[in-house]
Amino acid sequence: MKAAVVKALGEPLVIEERPDPVPGPGQVRIRVEASGLCHTDIHAAHGDWPVRPTPPFVPGHEGVGIVEELGAGVTHLSVGQRVAVPWLGWACGRCEHCLSGWETLCEQQVNTGYGVDGAYAEKMLAHADFAQPVPDGVDPREAAPLTCAGVTTYKALKVAGIGPTDLVAISGIGGLGHLAVQYAKIAGATVAAIDISDDKLRLAADLGADILIDARKEDPATVLQRYGGAHAALALAVSEESFATALAGLRRGGRLVMVALPADGAVQVPIFSTVLGGTSVIGSIVGTRQDLAEVFQLHAAGRTRVIYETRPLSSVNECVDEVLKGTVKARVVFEM
């Protein structure tokens, strides 16, 4: 099988021929049909974060495909079934986080395309309990971006605790943001979309955003404060500066949910306005299996649109460049 491999951090990926992986107990082997390019894969390949992956590794955690072999003991999936393989590749199921509905915080978790080989490949392994069945009728190329971009923003909005009379700022209308706009609209909120690209702002408008803010031309915080400030802001842009702006755009009692992970990112949280304004800063990491099931349910019901362009895996390095330049539509999906 072919796979796109990170041989050294910061180097272009290399397409390699590898033997088909063999599923161990509790695992399945999947013939990958579609695999999304999440910005996280670029951070992984560049070694942007304090905990670095160890090359060689295969990135990709928006893998969707068909189960083709069951490892020992797998009884709830069957050969021929379509599943999605998210970032949360495995969690212990026993710790306080797993037991309290926060498996995404499990200290023993295994991350697809980071700690173990991921979905930039024709075949991949997954732990059967964490491979999410994709509902019938959902196109695998649409299921792929939902598997990270979808579940992450759906969960971040749950964490933000938004309601139908809230103003929600979505900063960064890329892979994650274009879905965040739609989930916020489904929740009934008024949505302010922030980006630095005309195409992305047009896309946000097309997806239902009520207020468009071009951060190149105006200060998003000033614009948001004209509306009384945001009840919640999702920081989805790979820009440290955009976090501070989103924080400054909150109203009293507002919540900033940090989701993007710019390298070496830090934000100054002013004590006075945080205390007097009762504002919160919250981190949010992907979503649980149940969150992903809900994301698929919404899509199967026709309530979300996934904007993507398909590419062959052989163009992976060009695709990385285009995502960094911000010129892709919303998501690149590799079609295997």
Interface ranges with ligand NAD (CB under 6 A)? 38-40, 43, 148-149, 152, 171-177, 194-197, 200, 215, 236-239, 241-242, 259-261, 284-286, 323, 326
Tokens of 123: 């075949």
Helices (runs of H) and strands (runs of E) counted in the chain:
11, 17
Query: Which residues have C-beta within 8 Å of that of residue 217, sequence separation ≥ 6?
Result: none
> Do the Cβ atoms of 227 and 211 come closer than 8 Å?
yes
Query: From CA 193, how far away is CA 176, in angstroms rounded?
Result: 12
Per-residue x/- track, 104-133, Zn ion (CB under 5 A)? --x---------------------------
Residues 133-172 touching Zn ion, rule: CB under 5 A, are 148
Min dist CB 24 to ligand NAD, Å, is 27
| Closest to 194 measured CA to CA, from 179, 213, 221 | 213
Binding at 92: pick from Zn ion, ligand NAD, none (beta carbon under 5-8 Å per type): Zn ion
> Do the Cβ atoms of 41 and 61 come closer than 8 Å?
yes
Query: Which residues have C-beta within 8 Å of that of residue 301, sequence separation ≥ 6?
Result: none
Whether the bond into 86 is cis, omega within 30 of 0: no
| Closest to 162 measured CA to CA, from 64, 66, 258, 254 | 254
Residue 189 vs 213, nearer CB to ligand NAD: 213
Residue 167 vs 179, nearer CB to Zn ion: 179
Residue 245 vs 279, nearer CB to ligand NAD: 245
> Do the Cβ atoms of 236 and 260 come closer than 8 Å?
yes
Binding at 200: pick from Zn ion, ligand NAD, none (beta carbon under 5-8 Å per type): ligand NAD
Query: From CA 188, how far away is CA 151, in angstroms rounded?
Result: 18
The CB-nearest residue to ligand NAD is: 174
Residue 39 vs 123, nearer CB to ligand NAD: 39
Min dist CB 92 to ligand NAD, Å, is 19
Query: Which residues have C-beta within 8 Å of that of residue 132, sequence separation ≥ 6?
Result: 83, 84, 85, 86, 147, 289, 292, 293, 296
Binding at 321: pick from ligand NAD, Zn ion, none (beta carbon under 5-8 Å per type): none
Among 3, 32, 74, 98, binds Zn ion (CB under 5 A): 98
Binding at 106: pick from ligand NAD, Zn ion, none (beta carbon under 5-8 Å per type): Zn ion
Per-residue x/- track, 32-71, Zn ion (CB under 5 A)? ------x-x-------------------------------
* Residues contributing to the site for Zn ion (CB under 5 A): 38, 40, 91-92, 95, 98, 106, 148
